[in-house]
Structure 1
């Protein structure tokens, strides 16, 4: 596998997945802890945690596919 552009695809795939996982866990944890401490969260906080979960799932799913599969196949 050649790396013409100097990009370490494995590192980018792992870090992207971990970023997505971190956003997912932070969003879910904030939602749970916020509801335990405060009760009902304000709408903007509820939306923030929900968007963090959705963006985390999206990044965590697509990052390995893009950086681990698609880009190494097109590098050549």
Structure 2
């Protein structure tokens, strides 16, 4: 059980949340501005940006839950 003692749970939760926010923002702005300025995108870029939005939401919600609540409780 000593392998988790040096983890900074608060820092990991904050970094994970902000990474999720960044992924969401980049994906959403890429979808909006890309279609507005460049016109239609190829299918692979639509999938990439949509996946970035979805992963950003999941990471932003689950990272504080896992690193801020669950891991400190089971440590």
Does TM-score exceed 0.5, indicating one fold?
Answer: yes
2:24 is aligned to 24
Whole-angstrom distance in 2 between the partners of 1:37 and 1:43: 17
Q: Which has the higher helix share?
A: 2
- TM-score (normalizing by structure 1): 0.91
Answering whether residue 15 of structure 2 is matched by residue 38 of structure 1, we say no
- TM (normalized to structure 2)? 0.92
Q: Is it true that 1:12 corresponds to 2:1 in the alignment?
A: no
Stretches of 4+ aligned residues off by more than 3 angstroms: none
Structure 2, unpaired ranges of 5+: none
Over aligned residue pairs, what C-alpha RMSD do you find? 0.9
